[in-house]
Amino acid sequence: RKEVEQDPGPFNVPEGATVAFNCTYSNSASQSFFWYRQDCRKEPKLLMSVYSSGNEDGRFTAQLNRASQYISLLIRDSKLSDSATYLCAVNVEPPDMRFGAGTRLTVKP
């Protein structure tokens, strides 16, 4: 079983839609959690960290559920510029950081 599993996608949504991604992790001792964004042929870049209390950054909301061992990312009012691949990352046993396979999002006009 992979350490981190993620919705396979792809997700194709119209502009203005709300879209949610989920990611599960297998090691209950995992300590830190992140969402990264990766544009085509580019390196991943941090989108946001995920905190136990949940956190929001503009149209993006990340949540952590330790009991069920999953993290989620909600994007509201999708923009064309949100089209990218979204990767979840889990610091399994620091500094060992594992990534999900990524979910590709395409926002269409």
Task: List the one residue out of 50, 45, 55 whose CA is nearest residue 85.
Answer: 45
Q: Does 57 bind another protein (CB under 8 A)?
A: no
Q: Does 43 bind another protein (CB under 8 A)?
A: yes
Please give the radius of gyration of the chain, using alpha carbons only, rounded to the nearest integer: 13
Q: Does 101 bind another protein (CB under 8 A)?
A: yes
Q: Does 1 bind another protein (CB under 8 A)?
A: no
Nearby residues of 15 by Cβ (< 8 Å), 6 or more positions away: 78, 79, 80, 107, 108, 109
Q: Does 94 bind another protein (CB under 8 A)?
A: yes
Judged by the rule CB under 8 A, the positions of this chain that interact with another protein are 3, 6, 31-32, 34, 42-46, 49, 87, 89, 91, 94-102
